Structure 1
Amino acid sequence: MSDKWVYTLPAARGVQAGRCFYNVAMPMRVLTKLLRIDDGETLSRSQRLVNPDRARKVAQYMLNHRDSYIIPCLTGVIETDPTSPESVQFHMLGNETFIGQLSIPMDAQLKLFDGQHRASGIRLAIQEASELGQDSVPLLLFVDMTLAERKMAFTDINQNVSKPAQSLSDAYNSREALPQLAVELANELCCFKGLVDFERNTITAKSAYLFPLKSIKDATATLLSLNAKTATISETNREVARVFWQSLSDALKWGGLWMENDEPATVRLQTIKTHTVMLKAYALAGQWMLCQLGEVNALPYERFAALDFSRDSSDFMHRCIQPETGRMLSDSTAIRLTANKLMMQCGLPLTPESRQLERQFFGWNVDLEIHDLVNACLPNVEADLTSIIGDKFVIAMKAAGKTLQESEVADYERFLKAVIAADSKPERFAHLGVMKSEVRKHFA
């Protein structure tokens, strides 16, 4: 054999199920020369088709982290041309050793049955940064496996792969800003300390924890209007997250200070206030409140405490509790409906989209309509007073025997603008007697 027409690489030889394999640290520039993408019809290949987006993500990962990227071992077969005078050879260093040099014919092809997207990503990365071609990638290589053997190997490898839970990945992720913040909150805040599962995405019935780390990360991202690609988080936003979660837990009384004698399993049986869907709803409502009130310390956390957080709560039935089964609902609609309830509890107006969702599920809501009208028609009245006026108006209308109809919203609006807003002392309408009197005169 002529060494002129081969690649010679350091290698270690081993045996699995009677078949030799070779561990090789192959320069990436060589890999791109030898690699043959295993494509074609499904039954004529031993790999899934390459998804260009996944390959680009691998390339981008390498380019963004040139000093710290890690590419795990690729697994495949060296397929030689039966008409070629060259063949795969292993030359041991010394006698009875598994260390030596592997000679691969230059006209051979490398077909992977595990790691094809990583290999394709490597090729893309080298095209953009040729210096990466000097780096090596570990390969586990077999020689001249049949197509049937390669298919079976692909199945064996991928059927036994277990992806780690996102909570565990987030706990170990020291590169991205959101997971880092979630870990900080979980370790530093009294409301989370000792109650966070860093390993799993869901809380089981017998779990000693109340919150998965993933839920804290996702909820905090919602609160701060951030996404998974956020590179940095300002200290201002970090403080907003700390104040929000701690203030909320103080108002709702969850955390070690109030539940030190209760097992987490007992807490989960008694209340839904620490359920993942509630955590996400708190965050969504918090995001809306921050947009309206501007300051995290101005949020009316204490008003949440008046809600019923029991397992059969009428406040959250049909929102995040399924009435027929009592099961918790956690889809995006349940989260929005639950956040709507939190907003209405605080007397704050809903977004047009949220109002439409309320109508879709609960029909026309008189109280919601009145409170929104009060806020819209009396912008110069203090927020606490508008809530009181709205309540008094509804009571006064009912006392006057007035049937509140959706078609009469314009009448309500005229009363609020023409009578209350035009009054020199609108605060006097907080008195129920005054409200009843003016309602009777206006709607007589």
Structure 2
Amino acid sequence: MVQKKLTQDFTISFPSIKGIQSNKEYYVTMCPLKLLQTIFPKDTKDLPPELRAQRELNKNRVLPIKKYILENQDNYIFSSIAASIDREVDFETYGEDPIGRKIGTLCVPMDSNFVINDGQHRLAAIREALIEDPSIENETISVVFFIDAGLKNSQQMFADLNRYAVHPTKSLSILYDHRDPTARLATELATEVVVFKGMTEKAKSSISNRSRKLFTLSGIYQATKRFLQKKEGDEISEEEKELAIDFWNTVGKNMPDWIMAVNKKVTTSELRSDYIHAHGIALQALAIAGNSLIKKYPAAWKRSLTKIKQIDWSRENAILWEGRAMIGGSLNKSQKNVTLTANYIKTILDLPLDPNEEQVEASYVKGQNDFR
């Protein structure tokens, strides 16, 4: 009995705000990053799923979050961690008035178990970031504590917290991302390039049949990354930015159907229905070919690029596009099909294929011959 009382007398205290959800109390506190390492279990990977309250930690997700913290220490931001406490707690209020009764100190028994309901990857990344830079240990993150004496409730919390979670579309993420130089450039291209201006869907990563848009911001982003051969986060020089604007404007001048869409002489839905060039696969393929073209003809690439006017982009041209950009009459956006489409454009531009492109092309030709 004495030991039990001693255990209960030792507590961890958090300044907190009390709230009510579904007739149950919960508490919001600001927790120092260094304390997260102490109160939350480090690893539950050896437990079977039915005995955990979270999905298994995906280490591939942790590294980018850690990098984000360390590279943006002046302006990183995190949403709250949600966690459960498996013991009864005391809440000592700061006053008796309506506001004072909601603000106080949450006292949690020292032998309590803290279970993460949402935020385990943020927690793991914070742990790793603290190892590399302990100076952030006194910064805080908001934690929402629920009182839960049973694992079933914690598992249900995880299911409920993720049930209606919807990630923003790729296009919207690019539009709002001011850190990634390629994202900033893609947004600028959408307003600076004649055929992109007013024709770019910036909120969605797909285009509805009724939309007047012809391109998606995510499609422009991916294609421009390929054109400049950049990885996410890579810096982009002013010269590279100007080259990208110049390239896409030149491509647009040599795509009569795009110009007709800009001038409202043809509907974008018709182009999407009938032509390969109205889809992201064409943007990426043009970007790949364009990169090679500028490397080979740095002073004369614009003149050479006029040859793309020769291309019959019609989906009815099945002899050309079936197996290259389409599978069974439907567009296929796989890496293989992007490469095959780029290969054809490079052939039109009298450009050699690199070894990987030659291998993909040889496999395609063999498959076509076998089919015949």
Q: What TM-score does the superposition give when structure 2 sets the normalisation length?
A: 0.88
Alignment partner of 2:178: what SS?
coil
Alignment partner of 2:331: what SS?
coil
Instruction: Indicate how the Cα distance of structure 1 residues 338 and 51 shifts in structure 2: closer, same or farther if over 3 A, else same.
Output: closer
- Structure 2 counterparts to residues 41-52 of structure 1, below 5 A: 41-52=48-59
Match of 1:61 among 40, 61, 68: 68
CA RMSD after TM alignment: 2.4
Match of 1:305 among 309, 312, 315: 309
Letter in 2 for 1:52: K
Please tell me whether residue 26 in structure 1 is matched to residue 31 in structure 2: yes
Match of 2:173 among 169, 173, 181: 169
The structure with higher relative contact order (CA 8 Å, sep 6+) is 2
Give the aligned partner of residue 404 of structure 1. none
Structure 1 gap ranges (5+): 81-86, 366-444
Give the aligned partner of residue 335 of structure 2. 332
Give the aligned partner of residue 11 of structure 1. 16
For residues 323 and 202 of structure 2, the distance between their equivalents in structure 1, rounded to whole angstroms, comes to 31
Alignment partner of 1:170: what SS?
helix
Match of 2:349 among 343, 346, 367: 346
Match of 1:133 among 134, 137, 156: 137
For residues 210 and 176 of structure 1, the distance between their equivalents in structure 2, rounded to whole angstroms, comes to 24
For residues 146 and 71 of structure 1, the distance between their equivalents in structure 2, rounded to whole angstroms, comes to 28
CA contact (8 A) 1:38 1:111 kept: no
Which runs of at least 4 in structure 1 moved beyond 6 Å after TM superposition?
1-4
Deviation at 1:142, TM superposition (A): 1.2
- Structure 2 counterparts to residues 76-225 of structure 1, below 5 A: 76-80=83-87, 88-95=89-96, 96=98, 97-225=101-229
CA contact (8 A) 1:252 1:302 kept: no
Alignment partner of 2:36: what SS?
helix
Give the aligned partner of residue 77 of structure 2. 70
Letter in 1 for 2:164: N
Deviations, residues 230-279 of structure 1 (Å, cap 9, x unaligned): 1x101121122111111011011254576322332133234332211111
Instruction: Indicate how the Cα distance of structure 1 residues 105 and 363 shifts in structure 2: closer, same or farther if over 3 A, else same.
Output: closer
Deviations, residues 400-434 of structure 1 (Å, cap 9, x unaligned): xxxxxxxxxxxxxxxxxxxxxxxxxxxxxxxxxxx
Give the aligned partner of residue 374 of structure 1. none
Deviation at 1:317, TM superposition (A): 3.6
For residues 36 and 206 of structure 2, the distance between their equivalents in structure 1, rounded to whole angstroms, comes to 41
Instruction: Indicate how the Cα distance of structure 1 residues 215 and 295 shifts in structure 2: closer, same or farther if over 3 A, else same.
Output: farther
Give the aligned partner of residue 228 of structure 1. 232
Deviation at 1:355, TM superposition (A): 3.1
CA contact (8 A) 2:195 2:262 kept: no
Further displaced range: 244-253 or 55-64: 55-64
CA contact (8 A) 1:38 1:47 kept: no
CA contact (8 A) 1:285 1:343 kept: yes
Alignment partner of 1:219: what SS?
helix
Deviation at 1:57, TM superposition (A): 2.8
Aligned residues: 356
Structure 2 gap ranges (5+): none
Deviation at 1:182, TM superposition (A): 0.4
For residues 17 and 318 of structure 1, the distance between their equivalents in structure 2, rounded to whole angstroms, comes to 55
CA contact (8 A) 2:84 2:145 kept: yes
Letter in 1 for 2:250: S
For residues 36 and 352 of structure 1, the distance between their equivalents in structure 2, rounded to whole angstroms, comes to 49
Percent of matched pairs sharing the same residue: 27
Instruction: Indicate how the Cα distance of structure 1 residues 346 and 144 shifts in structure 2: closer, same or farther if over 3 A, else same.
Output: closer
Instruction: Indicate how the Cα distance of structure 1 residues 76 and 363 shifts in structure 2: closer, same or farther if over 3 A, else same.
Output: closer
